[in-house]
Amino acid sequence: MKARIFLLIMVLGTALQAQTPERKRAQPSPWERSIVTLEASRKQYDYYQPWTRKTGRAIKTALYIGEHQILTTADELFDRTLVRFQKGGRGRWWPGEVTWIDYYANLALVTCSDEDFWRDLQPATLGGTVPEGGTLQILRWHEGNLENRRAEFTQFTVREGQLAAINQTVLEADSDIQNAGWGEIVTANSHAVGIVSAQEGRMCTAIPATFIQNILEARKQSRYHGLGFFHFYWQGSQNPASLARLNLPGEPRGVIVNSVPARPDDCEQVLRPQDIILSIDGFALDIQGDYADPEYGNLMLENLATRNKWAGDDVKMQIWRDGKLMNIVYRLPKYDYSVSLVPSATYDQEPEYLILGGLVFQPLTDSYLQSWGNDWRRRSPFRLNYYRNDPPAKDRPALVVMSQVLPDSYNIGYQEQRCLVVDKVNGKTISRLADLRGAIDHPVNGFHVVEFVQSDSLRRIVISAGDSEKEATGRILKRYGIDEAYHLAGKAE
């Protein structure tokens, strides 16, 4: 009898063991009804041959946050041709429509016009705090299942954004998840505390929920006009001699302003070189340029340009100038890719180009330089790359480069010329392709004279204008399989 009971227990135990996973699968995570898969199809451009395009596709994770809004990162949503959703990690796809996108903040809201899509979806709660012990979960749909990876909170810190060189708070967490960085949801205590925007090794970088909430709230109240930034260079005051030289009394503190470029919005710069910034919006700055953030701990001062403040907002600064304490108001300029002479991105815009007798002209942008491949910062021509350090000037807000010459009898003698920055065409200064388009309407004595910026390379090219140029351009387009002689921004002619 004893033996029978034992046997029964064994059988029951085995049955219970076998049932346990079944029961786990049968009990869905509440996140399954909030997290969806987003597929973005988009055009991909070869900036070395800007008239060609390929297609690309990215699978991302997105989060339902209520009011028919799905939240995800803006990454891979540029130049999109189709966005669609999938619920529950399987089954049918639902078309999506981007209702708001901010590449600088790397955030997007997507909706679906089909009411059936929203059935069964449960809005997630953004916010919350990182729990004691720092254990987080990173969630996404993966092969039909909700993948739930443990992550260890590392720190809140300030880093450049994934799609723009603008500093903002990020959450860093260590996890063994693979290939993350595509909008995976970071959760803790039933809250979404962040969205993963990048991964390097085991380190996942996420946009914190508070940052997202602040932007969404400001947007609702029409207070959000884009991200602002501090448009000046500063350094820490770790060297007490620097503070002594500037006669700052008391404990070492604050940061020293090094240089103050002209603002992109033409407003007056209220800071001067050798000012010491002591506090911003009431937050005292230490000698490294950090302040004590009540939510995130010690953060770099750059975060105070995006801490619930937006482009056009004022921040209050206490500074030390010429031996006196002063209070000033710094209006945050709007960050834009064109704050650099070489724009760092050109999203949602087909590559611009203009072909004149086989001479190919393009704007000098990071997108163009990236045609040198993943290691483009090293491999692209040094001089072109070095222009990235320059601010736009009033008389030359951007640059046009003659990227290559499509060989033809018309342009014989120039076939090997490439990567030359254009200075003037027919005597007119060229900053944009539109300038070039205008200049070639006014040839000089029957010739187009193309002058390049003075450097260690070719200075001037002359080609004949008029019918011979038009004939050659037509012939070249046909030979090289190019549909249009030019594509200018906003003019898909």
Partner 1 sequence: MLKQTATTVLATLWLCAGYAADPERSVIQIFTFSQQPIWDAPWRFDAVRRMGGSGFVIKGKRIMTNAHVVSWGRQIIVRRYQDPRPYVAAVEYVAHDCDLAVLTVQDSRFFDNLDPLELGELPKVRSAVVTYGYPAGGEEISYTRGVVSRIELEPYAHVGNRRLLTCQTDAAINPGNSGGPVIQDDRVVGVAFQGMAGLENAGFFIPTPVIEHFLKDIEDSHYDGFPFAGLRVMPLQSPAYRILLKLPDNDLGARVDGILPIPSTEKEFKLDDVLLKVGDYPVASDGTILYRGNRVSSALAFQFVQAGQSVPVQIWRDGQQRQLSLPVSAYAGDRAAGYQYDTLPRYLVYGGLVFTPLSLDYLRTLGGSAPEISNGEMYYELFFRNYEDHAKARPEPIVLASILADSVNANLRIRGRTLLDQINGVRIEKLEDVVRAFETCTNGFDLIEFLPHHGCETLERSEVANANSRILKTYGIAHDRRL
* Residue ranges that bind partner 1, judged by CB under 8 A: 233, 235-236, 238-242, 244-245, 256, 258-259, 273, 377-378, 382-383, 385-386, 389, 411-414, 445, 447, 449, 453-456, 458-464
In whole angstroms, the minimum distance from the beta carbon of 140 to partner 1 comes to 35
3 state DSSP class of 200:
strand
Q: Are 283 and 291 in contact (CB under 8 A)?
A: yes
Shortest Cβ 458–partner 1 spacing (Å): 6
Rounded CA-CA distance 177/73 in Å is 18
Token code pair at residue 156: 């809140």
d(CA 299, CA 464): 60
Sign, Cα dihedral of 430, 431, 435, 436: positive
Minimal distance, residue 74 CB to partner 1, in Å? 28
User: β-strands 276-280, 283-284: how paired?
Assistant: antiparallel
Looking at beta carbons only, is 127 or 446 nearer to partner 1? 446
**Cβ–Cβ < 8 Å for 392, 339:** yes
Residue 399 Cβ vs partner 1, minimum distance, rounded to whole Å: 14
382 Cβ contact partners less than 8 Å away, ≥ 6 residues apart: none
- Between 52 and 258, name the residue whose CB sits nearer to partner 1: 258
Work out the burial of residue 243: count CB atoms within 10 Å of its CB; fewer than 13 is exposed, 13-18 middle, 19 or more buried. buried
Q: Which is nearer to partner 1, 187 or 473 (CB)?
A: 473
CA geometry: angle 415, 417, 423, nearest 5 deg: 130
CB of residue 239 vs partner 1: minimum separation in angstroms?
Answer: 4
CB of 154 to partner 1, least distance (A): 25
Output 281 or 408, the one with its CB closest to partner 1: 408
Beta strands in 105-208 (DSSP E): 107-111, 135-142, 145-160, 167-175, 185-188, 191-200, 203-208
Which one, 49 or 385, has the nearer CB to partner 1?
A: 385
Nearer to partner 1, 66 or 443 (CB): 443
Q: Choose between 195 and 405: whose C-beta lies nearer to partner 1.
A: 405
Instruction: Find the shortest distance in angstroms from Cβ 106 to partner 1.
Output: 25
